[in-house]
Structure 1
C-alpha cells in the first residue's frame, strides 16, 4: 500500500471532491435540477392570455426544453433581454400618445393655441384609456394617437384630481384596442424590475426605459395640492410626455401609472414616481360609473392632533389621537352620537376648544393625525363600508360603528 503525506492526501481528497461535484452537475443536466427548473419557470411565466393558453408541461419536459434552448439565442439576446423584448412587444400596442390643445387669448385678444402632450394606455375593448389628470386638466380638445397615422378625438369620462388619474373614451376600430393587464402593487419590493413605456417630450412614441423600484410608499403633491400617498419611486427614465404611461413589472403587468419626476432641470434625474395600480383599481369603477371618485367620509370639520404638550396642557387621558372640535351636521359621526367641543379655554393666550370626544383608532388602527385618518380612509375603505371607531369621552373608552358615506362635493 502506498503511503501519502498529510499534504498529498489533502490534495487527492480535494481533487476527488471536485470530481464528484462535476459528475453530479453533468448528470443533473439531463435531470430536473433546481436551477434549471427555476430558470425555466421564469422564462415560461404567463403574462397574457396567449401565454396562459400554452399547454401545461411537466418539469421533466420543461427541463429538456431549456436544455435545448441556449441562454443566448440566434439574435444574440440573452434570457433577460428576451424577457424585456417580450414585454415591449406585448404591451407597447396598448400605449397611446395624447395631444391636448387649449385656446388662450393674449393682451390684444388674439387667440393663441397652446398644445400639451402626455401618454396613456388602453384598459378595455370599449375604448377606455387611463392617463394622468394633469395631462388633460383645463384643456379644450384631446386627441389620441394609436400610431400608424391613426388619430382619434377623445372625451373625458371620469377624473380624480386628488390621485392625478383620468379616464378617456375613444370610438375607434376595436382591432386597434389592445388592453393591458392590471397587476398588483401591494406586494412590490424595492429592487425588482420596473419598465416604463411612454412618449417622452411628446415626440418619441412608445419609448421603453428600464430600471428598478427604488423606493415605496413615497408621498407626492397632486394637481389639487393635496398629497398622494403610497407612491412608487423608480429610476427608470421618465421625462415630460411620459405622464400617464404605464409602469410595468417584468411580466408586463401594470403596477402603476407614471405621474411625476423630481428634477432640477426638468428632465430625468433618475427619480420618477408612479401612482400604484391598486389605487387605480380602487377608484376606476367609480370613475367609469359616476365620472368621479366617491370618497368615504366621516364628517370631521375640525379637530386637533393631540401631542404630548397638548395632552399635558388640557389634562387629556391620552397623548395621541384626534380631539374633535366641530362635526358636520348630519354626518356619520354626528348621527352616531359622537360629540365635538363642549367648551372653550384660554391657554397661553390662545382660545382652545375642549371637551370633545377623542378619536383614537379605526378598526383597531391607531390614528395620530387628521392627515393620517384621511389616508387611512382613502387607501382602505369605500363608501358604504361599516367601520368601528374607538372613542374616549371623559376618560371612558367605548366603540361605535358608523357607515361611511360619500364626501360632499
Structure 2
C-alpha cells in the first residue's frame, strides 16, 4: 500500500502531467486512488521505467508546449527613400494636373424630346443623357462628342464652380463623333485647355482622363496608352474614324466628350467610346479596361470648321476597298501582302474621275469569306507607304484637304504606275455615297 504522503505526491505529479497534455491512457494509469496490489506493483514498475522512456516523455512535453507558443510575424522592411519620393512625385503630378485642368472640364446635361436621356445606335457608345466636355476658347466654345448632344432639345453645361448655363449646339460631325457648343459664360469660367501632339505619343505613356462618369462630376482616372492606330465605325457605319487612341484609364458612361491628357496636362484625345461590360439582365454598361479617344490632331482639324460652318468637310477619294491579305496577294500574284485594294469605284467620285479601276472577279476563300479582286492596289500616297486600308484613311485625316491634288502609286495588271487625284468632299448621307 502507498503511504498517504506518497498519494499526495502522486496527485501533484498527475496534475503537473495534465498541464503538459499527456495522452489520456497514460494519465488514467496514474490517477487511480488506493488501487489493488497488482496495480500498485504496476505503478511502482512504471516509476522504475528506464531513463530512455522518461526522456521520450519529456520530449513529448516539450513538443506539446512549443505548439502553443505563437509565431511572431517578421518585421516589414521599411520603404526606401527613393520609393517614397517616387510615390510622392506621382501624387504631386496627378494633383497638379487635376488642379490645372479640372476647371476647364464641364458636365453636360442633355434633354431629348419625349425622354430624359439621349441615345446612340452604335453599342460602342453608351446611351446617356449626360456627358462631359471642355473649354476650347475664351469665346465660350465647348468641345464634346456628337453622340452626347445628338438630337438634343436642350443642353445645359455645368462648370467646376457649380455655375450652370444653357448651351447652343453650333456644329456637329458624325464622322469624327465631335460637336461644339457655345455658352455665354463669364470670363473667369472660361479656361481653355492646352493641346498636345497626338502623333508623338507612344504606347506605355501615361494617360489621364477627367470627366463625369455616371454624373459624378470632376472624376480623375489614370492609366496608360494601351495601343495606337485603332479605328472605330462612324454612326452610319459607312466610314471609320482613324488613328483612335486606346487606353486603360477608366472611362465610363458620362466620360464621353471629356479630355484624355498626357503627363503635361495637355489634351491628346477626346474620350468617346468603351468596350462595355453588360450583365445578362441588360444592366448598366461599365468599363472593361478598354477605352477609346479621338486623337487630338484630328480634333484640332475638325473643330474650326464646326465653329465656322457648323460642319467639317472630310476629304474623300470615293471607292470601297479592303486591305491586301496574304490570300488576296496570292490570288492576284502581288509581290507582297500590303496595300489597299480597290473593290468598287463609286460613279462620279474623285476615284472615278482619276480613272481608278474596280475589281473584276469574285473569289471565295477557304474560311468562307469572299471579296472582289482584280482592281487597282494602292501602295503609296505621296511619300507615305500604304500597308493597309486604314493607312489610306489615316493619310486623308492627317494630311488631306478637299481640293488637294495627291499622287497615288498603284499596281495595275502587275505593273506599278502613278495616278493623280483631286480630293473631293465626303458625302454627308449614305444616299449620297450609294
Q: So what's the TM-score if we normalise by structure 2?
A: 0.65
Return the offset for 1:357.
Answer: 4.6
Cα displacement string for residues 225-269 of structure 1 (whole angstroms, at most 9, x for unaligned residues):
354332222222222111111111122111111112223242233
Q: How does 1:376-387 map to 2 (within 5 A)?
A: 376-387=395-406
Query: In the alignment, what sits opposite 1:52?
Result: none
Cα displacement string for residues 15-52 of structure 1 (whole angstroms, at most 9, x for unaligned residues):
xxxxxxxxxxxxxxxxxxxxxxxx9xxxxxxxxxxxxx
Cα displacement string for residues 336-375 of structure 1 (whole angstroms, at most 9, x for unaligned residues):
344556xx66878xx9988755443322544465555334
Query: In the alignment, what sits opposite 1:205?
Result: 217
Cα displacement string for residues 124-160 of structure 1 (whole angstroms, at most 9, x for unaligned residues):
0011111111111222111101144421111222222
TM-aligned CA distance change 1:84 to 1:190, over 3 Å: same
TM-aligned CA distance change 1:352 to 1:217, over 3 Å: closer
Return the offset for 1:220.
Answer: 3.6
SS at match of 1:292: coil
Q: CA RMSD in A?
A: 3.3
TM-aligned CA distance change 1:171 to 1:337, over 3 Å: same
Is structure 2 residue 312 aligned with structure 1 residue 293?
A: yes
Query: In the alignment, what sits opposite 1:129?
Result: 142
Give the distance between the partners of 1:129 and 1:381, measured in 2 at CA. 25
Query: In the alignment, what sits opposite 2:350?
Result: 332
Structure 2 spans left out of the alignment, 5+ residues: 1-81, 119-128, 279-284, 365-369, 429-434
Would the aligned equivalents of 2:103 and 2:161 in 1 still touch at CA under 8 Å? no
TM-aligned CA distance change 1:320 to 1:118, over 3 Å: closer
Query: In the alignment, what sits opposite 1:174?
Result: 187
Q: How does 1:4-403 map to 2 (within 5 A)?
A: 78-104=88-114, 112-114=115-117, 116-202=129-215, 204-225=216-237, 226-265=239-278, 266-300=285-319, 302=320, 321=339, 324=342, 326-340=344-358, 357-367=376-386, 370=389, 372-403=391-422
Cα displacement string for residues 177-198 of structure 1 (whole angstroms, at most 9, x for unaligned residues):
0100011111212332222111
SS at match of 1:271: strand
TM-aligned CA distance change 1:388 to 1:172, over 3 Å: same
Report the structure number with the largest CA radius of gyration. 2
TM-aligned CA distance change 1:311 to 1:81, over 3 Å: closer
Return the offset for 1:222.
Answer: 4.2
How many residues are matched? Answer: 324
SS at match of 2:416: strand
Give the distance between the partners of 1:303 and 1:338, measured in 2 at CA. 12
Return the offset for 1:397.
Answer: 3.0
SS at match of 1:163: coil
TM-aligned CA distance change 1:293 to 1:82, over 3 Å: same
SS at match of 1:78: helix
Give the distance between the partners of 2:205 and 2:327, measured in 1 at CA. 43
Give the distance between the partners of 2:99 and 2:274, measured in 1 at CA. 26
